[in-house]
Amino acid sequence: MAARIVVGVGGGIAAYKVATVVSRLVQRGHHVDTAMTTGATRFIGPATFTALCGHPAVVDTYDPRFPLGAHIELAQDADLMLIAPATARLLASCAQGLADDLVSTLYLSCTGKVLMAPAMNCQMWEKAAVQRNVAQLIQDNVSFVGPEQGWLSCRQRGLGRMAEPEQILQAIEQLLES
């Protein structure tokens, strides 16, 4: 079953894995739009997602291609929104209802299912504030995949590694079927 999926790419080193997720979703026949935080563009370029989706990735909240607003038009009729990597900042913005960038504003506009794939340093993941935000999002019916235990970009081992693309794809398919 083909679905309309919006992928919000957060500003973390794990953003490179999202390219594989987007590519595989498109290969499976899904319509995929990508929105990126400014931080995400420091790790992977919009051109990557534009090439994979066949239409431009959106970075600017006020992109003139969307007269009603990118957050409204991209969220409209979306079956699912994936936020990956879901950084500590994105988790906080979404849990608090802040519309402080395109991805968090899209989250607030999205009426479809939401899946988050957290990724951050293990000390950050373990902070009480981050765990409160995760608990709030779970209460708000957000689904999660990961994080995983493993080697982190900070050269430590711990819990905070973003789930692998195949795990994310499996979680997406399960959510779409439910």
Q: What residues are annotated to the active site?
A: 154
DSSP letter, residue 162: P
Cα dihedral 39/100/162/140 (nearest 10): -170
- Kindly provide the residue ranges of all beta strands, DSSP E only, lying in 22-108, ordered along the sequence: 31-36, 80-86
**What angle do helix axes 88-96 and 102-109 make, rounded to 10 degrees?**
40
Cα dihedral 12/137/145/61 (nearest 10): -40
**Sole residue written with tokens 């997406």:** 172
CA 45 to chain centre: 15
